Chain A
Amino acid sequence: MTGGPDEIAGTQLPGAVTGVTITLGCWLIVLSTHGDYGAPTGFDAVWNDRLVGLVAVALGLLRAVGRLTLTVATAAGTAVGGWLVLAPLLLDYGFSTDSTLATLTDFAIGATITALTVAGALDRGAGARPPADVDVVTRP
């Protein structure tokens, strides 16, 4: 029925997606508070990272308590990660030396969250499925 003591118990990827999403969300919040974004220009990089960080933490916590379906969690995670990748292009990050940290951080965190979310969804969809060990014969 279940694996023996010498077998690894299932995949760890879903938990990793949740943990990394929360960690990176926290990192964004901390960075937006203490990081060097150059001269602030209204509602741009700093507040974007702060809000997206909060959304990422909330998303991770909702994943952790199992309040989201895989479809919703994947869509939300991809949207958050995709927005972080696009944000430096759509918002006024300044594209100067001062904004390099924010730009690179957003790209990196956005790409990581997107990739992990998609990988987690693919893993739950196929790879995590245990092998069939029950034969089912149907009679009309």
Chain B
Amino acid sequence: MADMLATTMANQVMIAREAMVLRPRRADRDGSTDLWPVFGLIVDDHDLTRTRQGRDLLAHLNGPSAVTLLDGSFVLSVLSEDGPVLGVTVSATTPLALSIGVVLPARSLRAELGMLAEGPTIGITTLSRAQRLRGGVDTQTALSLIVLARSEPLPCLTSLAEAS
């Protein structure tokens, strides 16, 4: 309930249109393997235009390509075990001030729940930017089309994954 409250207290709550999982095709050569996999939330461009913070995020995503790692975190929560429906609260201060809640219908993500339980790197991007990611891209492009942050492990997702 507290997680749900945190999600709804965010400046803006929106529904993720799609989700994606990014994985390198071969072992990372520079050793920064804890970055992967990256779980991406895809939201509608128009949904972001409704608040100032959303517009700032949209402008950042549409700006010059650069890898953005938020000083903050993505906090996962289970809003409903029926489905399931997940909530993701984005809280960050720099380089973008963000307080956004994303509701994620996770019926098609049952295979990814175990990975989400471990607290992966999570990113957020828009439908228009995500178009460039489809089919596979190079690492720099992939990471510059999405705003990233770390997430905390959510052990209850493990049991949810095992139950489903």
Chain A residues near B (Cβ < 8 Å): 1-2, 4, 129-140
Q: Are B20's CB and A139's CB within 8 A?
A: yes
For residue B41, give the distance in angstroms from its CB to the closest CB of chain A: 11
- B18 neighbours in A (Cβ, 8 Å): 138-140
Q: Chain A contacts of B135 at CB under 8 A?
A: 132, 136
B: which residues have CB within 8 A of A? 18-26, 28-30, 32, 42, 108-109, 112, 130, 133-142
17 pairs across A/B with beta carbons < 8 Å?
Answer: A1-B32, A2-B30, A130-B140, A130-B141, A132-B25, A133-B25, A133-B26, A133-B139, A134-B22, A134-B139, A135-B23, A135-B136, A136-B20, A136-B134, A136-B136, A139-B112, A140-B18
Main secondary structure of the interface of B (DSSP, over half): mixed
Q: Are B134 and A133 in contact (CB under 8 A)?
A: no
Cβ distance B29 to chain A, nearest Cβ, rounded Å: 6
With a cutoff of 8 Å between Cβ atoms, the chain A residues found around residue B30 in the complex are 1-2
Given contacts A139-B20, A140-B18, whether A134 and B108 have CB atoms under 8 Å apart is no
Q: Cα distance A75–B23 when bound, in Å?
A: 38
B140 cross-chain contacts in A, Cβ below 8 A: 1, 130
